[in-house]
Structure 1
Amino acid sequence: MVPKIETAHLEGLITFLSVARLGRYTAAAKSLGVNHSTVSRRVADLEKALGGKVLARGPHGWELTELGSRAMAAAEQAERSLQELSSLTHGGDDLRLNGIVRIAAPDAFTFFVAIPALADLQIREPGLGIEVITATQQVRQRRSGVDIEVVIGEPTVNKAVTHKVLSYRLCLYATKEYLERMGTPTTIADLADHRINYYIETALQVDELDLGARRIPAYREGISSTSVFAHVASTLAGAGIGLLPDYVATDPRLIRILPDEYLHEVSYWAVIREENIRNASVRACLKAMVEESQAEKFRLRSVAGMRPAEGG
């Protein structure tokens, strides 16, 4: 029997598109609001109609086959057609964004950059759903079920588009009360007598952040945490010297120390799989975060914690 494509396979095309972008049936099911078995059945029905496999399980999740790569154009066209119909229901001519975009990003980036940018985008695009997972880690080679990964340090990953979003600096900060109690270090060697509030060494998976700590020859561990906000809170509480991102150190009680001896430059990069970059909603989220990172208020925020220690 000759395979036959019918209008009933439209759901299969949209479901296939979601799996291709997210790399996982479970993530696609959640995005579409259906269960795993429904996703599996729709993809199987589509493959039967097309006469071949459109997806194959790879080491990093579900990947496109040669037939799947050719079917992507039709699936994306079907998605655009549905979006155009959705725009008509809103009484406008502009193509409206919809669907759910999943983003994984470090907690400080999420708070200062992603949320302000994405909140504004969602106000303008009420049909757009956004989920943000906070994670400070290296880019995952395995398909992770997210549309955009924001990682620290330039990533190396296959079949993905990378985009540099923001550069910042790790600097040393302390409160006036701490410096009065423990003394102000005048050289980086003096840090051997001080506690540093930073990441838990055994839990740190990001080379650029690990290098930031290793540039300090010797120090005592203060309150270690997987959260940048815990580093800030520990420093404000006088638990030690904080190794903090400059754009996070906005509290006027934080005084930068050793500005001429210690500075470690780091950058955020966005990673988007090739299948996802063609998604208008994903592109809009990336654009919003990039624009937020370049805004004047963000540059001012980056400078706010750069007050050097007095008398030292």
Structure 2
Amino acid sequence: MPSRIQPNHLEGMITFLTVARLGRYTAAAHALGVNHSTVSRRIADLEKALGGKVLARGADGWEITDLGTRALPEAERAERALAGLSSLADGTTSPQLRGIVNIAAPDAFTSCIAIPPLAALQRREPRLRLEILTATQQLRQRRAGIDIEVVIGEPVVNRAVTRKLTDYHLRLYATREYLDAAGTPTCVEDLAQHRLNYYIETALQVDELDLGIRRIPDYRYGISSTSVFAHISATLAGSGIGLLPDFAIDDPRLVPVLAEEFSHAASYWAVVRDENYRNPAVRACLAALAAGKPSQPTP
């Protein structure tokens, strides 16, 4: 028989909401500033009071049960009430965004597109904390501890909000010194005589990026890396021709190669699980990412 809800269950509601968004007890504990056992105890107390499970262990983290789905709006209402009380205590006129928002995004997108609008948001919302994991990989159906995941190519995912952020192109670049020494390609087939700086073939998990390199029939391996900035550095160092995102090129030492013949279109998309999208801080970060504009490459 369920127990009567007590005031001390407010902590349990906020803890439940945090686990629902992050998918892991450990991630929730970090966000709330408590230990794993405290999270577990609060959830257990809340479930005892409600007379059922609000969370169930899934293959990739904790999932919300039917009871949890019904309890979620009440937990969010409690969160908004606490935010309002905090605003009164701070002397502000409206609730401020607070807490940690975890974002996973490719390194070039993070540095060249995401950081400026996110920094502007954080200046407006000083209580908002942002953590960004740079990774270029396939979308995971559920990625524990991540509120917003930025991927390359349109994602196919269930129970999530997706939003297109921006288009860009992969193009070929090299230094003038390299081209003077190794020769300037006049067609895509000429790339067979040149080294190409790009991702590690065995580590390339993104279809859009794989399709880009497959459009080049033959080439020699240059310096391969999981980092776009390593590709750029290798190309600047004269190790070969780089297959690079156009928005990340702002160094006049890099000149386009086969500009009229080769260009591969790609796009960045954001994915937010439904329960995370209900978090005002996450929605604010998503809006900031959507407002970010790629820097223009130097001619």
Normalising by the smaller structure, the TM-score range is: over 0.9
- 1:110 and 1:14 map into 2 onto residues whose CA distance is 30
Query: 1:224 maps to what in 2?
Result: 224
Counterpart in the other structure of 2:157: 157
- Residue 117 of structure 1 deviates from its aligned partner by 1.5
The within-5 A match list for 1:29-108 is: 29-108=29-108
How far does residue 108 in structure 1 lie from its aligned partner after superposition? 0.6
CA contact (8 A) 2:2 2:50 kept: no
Q: How many residues align?
A: 299
| Contact persistence 2:122–2:128 (CA under 8 A) | yes
Q: Which residues of structure 2 form unaligned runs of 5+?
A: none
Alignment partners' CA distance in 2, 1:71 and 1:248: 45
1:138 paired with 2:138, answer yes
Query: Share of identical aligned residues, percent?
Result: 67
In the other structure, the counterpart of 2:184 is: 184
Q: Partner residue of 1:206?
A: 206
**Displacement of 1:2 after TM fit?**
4.8
Aligned to 2:264: 264
Does residue 282 of structure 2 align to residue 282 of structure 1?
Answer: yes
Q: TM-score of the superposition, structure 1-length normalised?
A: 0.94
SS of 1:47's partner is helix
CA distance in 1, matches of 2:11, 2:3: 17
Q: 2:250 aligns to what? A: 250
- The answer (yes or no) to whether the contact 1:14–1:78 under 8 Å persists in 2 is yes
2:119 aligned with 1:119: yes
Q: CA deviation at 1:59?
A: 2.1
Alpha-carbon distance in structure 2 between the residues aligned to 1:69 and 1:103: 24
* Consecutive aligned runs of 4 or more in structure 1 exceeding 6 Å deviation: none
Q: Which residue in the other structure is 1:171 paired with?
A: 171
- Give distance in 2, aligned partners of 1:132 and 1:254: 28
Q: Is the 8 A contact 2:54 2:67 kept in 1?
A: yes
Per-residue CA distance 1:149-195 (angstroms, 9 max, x = gap): 01111111221111111110000001110110011100000000000
- Alpha-carbon distance in structure 1 between the residues aligned to 2:119 and 2:251: 24
CA RMSD of aligned residues (A): 1.1
- 3-state DSSP class of the match of 2:37? helix
Are 2:159 and 2:273, in contact at CA under 8 Å, matched by a contact in 1? Answer: yes
- State TM-score, norm by structure 2: 0.98
SS in 2 for 1:275: helix
1:39 CA displacement: 0.5
Contact 1:56/1:64, CA 8 A, preserved across alignment: yes
Letter in 2 for 1:62: W
Determine helix, strand or coil for the equivalent of 1:150.
strand
Question: Which residue matches 1:8?
Answer: 8
Which SS does the other structure have where 2:244 is aligned? Answer: strand
- Where does the alignment leave 5 or more consecutive residues of structure 1 unmatched? 308-312
Tell me how far 1:89 sits from its aligned partner. 2.4
Whole-Å Cα distance in 2 between the matches of residues 209 and 172 of structure 1? 14
**Quick one: distance in 1 between partners of 2:36 and 2:115?**
30
Mapped contact 2:171–2:244 kept (Cα < 8 A): yes
Residues 86-111 of structure 1: per-residue CA shift (max 9 Å, x gap):
21123221220001000011101110
